[in-house]
């Protein structure tokens, strides 16, 4: 596992999938040995991470940090997406309940973990119609800062879906059938253990955040997921 490095990445490629049970080892082999290396060597990519779902979360979550969301509409990335390798073509046929969003960083709080954080807690949501600006201000300026003070929370980030880039269709998506998810905002918390999101400190930090009661009512289609870190690969240092 690599030691985490500093980088100003503002884009995030967010992919989730269930994988046919008898094909998961082959999927991990492909992702470790071919696919992630192919992606992180594309200019503008910083690091790729794969997680395995806990509980009701999808089997796998694949995250790629990039310079920004717009580079994922660039020629180099789309060329790779539209020319999948034979191994990629075979693997993605075994994806189920899969989806993909391209996100742009809105706010960040807390400190980078000393090494890769072992767990990731995600909250997906939509703001109430007409309240996006208020929700973003509250989440970015108050909630993330409050939650990052909880013991076991390293860093919190809030992302917004870049719908224009997420909606670009490619050959890989035609094969896998993946499309954008429902929610327009994603909050990611890098945490030290699976107990953090159910702890008293976590609940207290959330409930005592200014305007919590009012703002909670403005969050719709809320979906929470927990994952453990499976694999990480950084872009080459000369990249």
Q: Do residues 2 and 232 make contact, with C-beta atoms less than 8 angstroms apart?
A: yes
The answer to the question of residue 136 being in a domain is yes
Residue 64 within any structural domain of the chain: yes
Q: Are 207 and 201 in contact (CB under 8 A)?
A: no
Q: How many CA atoms lie within 13 Å of 161's alpha carbon, on the beta-carbon side? A: 23
Q: Are 80 and 64 in contact (CB under 8 A)?
A: no
Q: Is the dihedral of CA 80, 83, 89, 95 positive or negative?
A: positive
DSSP strand E in 69-167: where?
A: 95-110, 119-127, 153-161
Strand 153-161 and strand 11-19: the pairing is: unpaired
Number of domains observed in the structure of the chain: 1
Strand partners, 97: none
Alpha-carbon gap, residue 4 to 59, rounded angstroms: 24
In a domain, 203, yes or no: yes
Question: Which sign, positive or negative, has the C-alpha torsion 49, 54, 56, 59?
Answer: positive
237 band by pLDDT with thresholds 50, 70 and 90: confident
Residue 4 clears pLDDT 80, i.e. is over it:
no
For residue 2, tell me if it sits in a domain: no
Interval 22-51 mean pLDDT = 97
Q: pLDDT tens digits, residue range 117-162? A: 999 999 999 999 999 999 999 999 999 999 999 999 999 999 999 9
pTM here? 0.94
Residue 123 lies in a domain: yes
Query: Is 239 part of any domain?
Result: no
Domain with 95 in it: 11-234
Structure tokens at 61: 């979550």
Q: Flag whether pLDDT at 29 surpasses 60.
A: yes
CATH number of 112's domain: 3.30.70.100
Establish how many alpha carbons lie within 13 A of residue 46's alpha carbon, considering only the half-sphere containing its beta carbon.
Answer: 18
Residue 4 lies in a domain: no
- Residue range 155-172: mean pLDDT, rounded: 96
Encode pLDDT of 76-114 as tens digits: 999 999 999 999 999 999 999 999 999 999 999 999 999
Residue 220 falls inside a structural domain: yes
- Residue 120, token pair as written in the block: 């990731």
Phi then psi for residue 110, to 5 deg, are: 95, -170
Locate the DSSP E strands across 9-138. Answer: 11-19, 45-54, 60-66, 95-110, 119-127
Predicted pLDDT of residue 3: 38
């Amino acid at each position: 596992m690599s030691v985490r490095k500093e980088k100003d990445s503002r884009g995030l490629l967010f992919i989730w999938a269930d994988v046919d049970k008898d094909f998961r080892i082959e999927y991990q082999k492909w992702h470790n040995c071919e696919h992630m290396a192919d992606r992180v060597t594309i200019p503008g990519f910083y690091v790729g991470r794969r997680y395995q779902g806990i509980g009701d979360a999808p089997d796998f979550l694949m995250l790629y940090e990039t310079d920004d969301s717009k580079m994922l509409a660039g020629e180099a990335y789309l060329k790779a997406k539209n020319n999948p390798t034979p191994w990629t073509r075979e693997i993605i046929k075994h994806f189920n309940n899969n989806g993909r969003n391209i996100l742009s960083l809105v706010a960040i709080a807390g400190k980078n973990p000393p090494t890769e954080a072992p767990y990731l807690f995600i909250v997906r949501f939509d703001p109430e119609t007409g309240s996006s600006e208020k929700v973003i201000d509250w989440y970015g300026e108050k909630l993330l800062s409050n939650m990052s003070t909880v013991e076991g929370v390293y860093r919190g980030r809030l992302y917004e879906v870049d719908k224009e880039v997420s909606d670009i269709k490619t050959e890989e998506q035609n094969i896998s059938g993946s499309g954008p998810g429902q929610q327009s905002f994603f909050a990611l918390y890098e945490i030290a253990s699976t107990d953090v999101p159910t702890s008293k400190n976590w609940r207290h930090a959330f409930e005592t955040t200014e305007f919590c009661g009012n703002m909670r009512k403005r969050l719709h289609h809320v979906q929470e997921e927990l994952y453990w870190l499976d694999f990480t690969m950084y872009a080459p240092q000369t990249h």
